[in-house]
Every structure is written in C-alpha cells, then in structure tokens.
Amino acid sequence: MQSLLSRWKTGWHQLLLGMELTRNLAVRDVETRYKHSILGLYWAIINPLVTAGIFGFVFGVIFHESSKPIPYVVFMLTGITFWNFFANGIMSAVGSVSGNASLLAKIYFPRIVLPTAAVLARFIDFLFSLGVLIVFIILYDTPIHWSTLWIPALLILQVLFTLGIGYLVAALNVLYRDINQLMGLLLLVWMYFSPVMYPVTNLKPSLRSILLMNPIGSILQMERDVIFTGHLQYPQFAYSALAWTAFVFIAGIRVFRHIEPMFSEVM
C-alpha cells in the first residue's frame, strides 16, 4: 500500500512538473517568435485578416459564393480563425523535437512536452485571432446563439486532434526531415477539402458526406453551427469526429513513445 501511494505521489509530481514545463516552453515559444518583430503579436491578427480578405475576394466577389444568412466575411473569418490554429499548431509541432537537439542533450524531461508546448503556443495566437472574429461579428451585427457556450468543448476536441497529429509528425520528423515539407503540402490540400471557405449546405449530399467525414472538417462545421445556427446541422458526423480524435490522439502518443528512444541516436 505504501509503495502504491509512493508511486502515485511520484506520478502526480511528474505530471505537475510536466504541466509547468509545458506552460513555460509555450510562453518562451511565443516570446522568442515575436521578440525581434516590429508588430509582434499583431501578426496573429494580421495573418487571418489578410488570408480572409484574399479568399473573401476570390470566393465572395469573383465566384459569388454565398453563406446566407451569415455575412460571407464573417463566415470566412470564422473558418480561417479555427483552421489556422489547427494548421499552425501542426507546423509548429513538426520541428519541435528536431529543432531542440541542444536542449535535449543538456537535461532530461519528458520529450512529449515539446510538441505539446508548440501546439499550445499557437493556441495563444488563436486567442488573439478569436478577438478579431468577435469584433467582426459585432461590426456586421451577426446574431449568435447561446449554444456558443459549447465552443470550449469543441476547442478541446480540436486541441486533442491537433496534438495527436502533432505528436506523430514531431516524432517522424526526427527520422525523416522531409516531413516538414510534406505536411505543408498536405495541409494545403486538406484546407480545400475542409469547409473553411465554403458552406457545405450548398454541396450535393454525397460530396458533403465525404467532406464531413474529414475530422477537422466536421469539427469546423460544428464550431460554426453552435455559434451561428444554435444547433448541429449534421450531428451524425459529430460521433465520427469524436472517434477519430480519440484514435489519432492515442495513436500519436503511442508512436511518439515508440520512436522516442531513437531521438538521442538520430540527433
């Protein structure tokens, strides 16, 4: 009994240390990223605005895409805001281990902290972008529903899905350094196969089902739904998103743990 209690205390202590280290590394990541930048964290606001402006012009003006009753600029900015957190989190996680070889050589700590901190650092950027989205919702007098309170739960789902992929690519990038370029290309394709810039309600049911079987696509759709419609338009895909998230998160951790012993040999 005493041995079990001792192990529990040790495990709890290590968990707290890991959480503190993750927080410190995430804050350091943000500070380092914007330290010598003139605009600093304002880039977290500028990037989604510029991206939404470009896509809004292409799809809203040239192709006359409609998202009624939601103003298209608000619709677009919502998709870009939540998508950017996912994409930026993964791209930050890719090099989180391979880019910290000197730190790994100095001290021991749970290596999984590195991709975790990288993703959480991008969550800080996301919060600034979310503030811009709120401003646009107010400016365009876009009604939102009480179900918006479900956004934190959906964000947890999105964070876990992003972390799962982040663990996977961070570990694989130690062995194969072209994972970084591969993920950049994959995310570009993935964005167009997700309802970031267009409403799935305008698509044929068969094509809509294919796109919403995509976990991040389904999560993005649910996030828009709870904010602007007050209900899930396609609740059947919520279960597949939940199942995919659990699978990817657990698989990402297992792959990371499997490759982790090779880090010191490769780097």
Share of the chain above pLDDT 90, in %: 37
Alpha-carbon Rg for the chain, nearest whole angstrom, is 20
| 225-253: pLDDT as tens digits | 999 998 889 998 999 999 999 999 999 99
Q: Would you state the pLDDT for residue 61? A: 60
- Which alpha helices (DSSP H) does 148-204 contain, by range? 151-175, 179-192
With contact defined as beta carbons under 8 Å apart, do 258 and 170 qualify? no
Least confident of 48-57, 59-68, 104-113: 59-68
How many structural domains is the chain composed of?
A: 1
* 195: three-class secondary structure by DSSP: coil
Distances (CA, A) of 117 to 28, 92, 97: 9, 9, 11
Phi, psi of 215 (to 5 degrees): -55, -50
Q: Would you state the pLDDT for residue 5? A: 42
pLDDT winner (highest mean) among 2-11, 46-55, 246-255: 246-255
Is pLDDT of 22 > 70? yes
**DSSP per residue over 191-246, as a string?**
HHTTTTSS-GGGS-HHHHHHHHTSHHHHHHHHHHHHHHTSS-SSTHHHHHHHHHHH
Q: Would you state the pLDDT for residue 36? A: 61
| 191-204: pLDDT as tens digits | 989 998 888 887 88
Is pLDDT of 9 > 50? no
Selection from 110, 93, 116, 92 nearest residue 23 by Cα: 116
Rounded CA-CA distance 101/229 in Å is 47
Q: Identify which has the larger pLDDT, 194 or 262.
A: 194
Rounded CA-CA distance 55/195 in Å is 13
Residue 230, phi-psi category: left (phi > 0), alpha (psi -120 to 50), beta (remainder)? left
For 83-100, what is the mean pLDDT?
Answer: 90
State the chain's mean pLDDT as an integer.
81
**Domain assignment of residue 35, given as a range:** 2-266
With contact defined as beta carbons under 8 Å apart, do 89 and 30 qualify? no
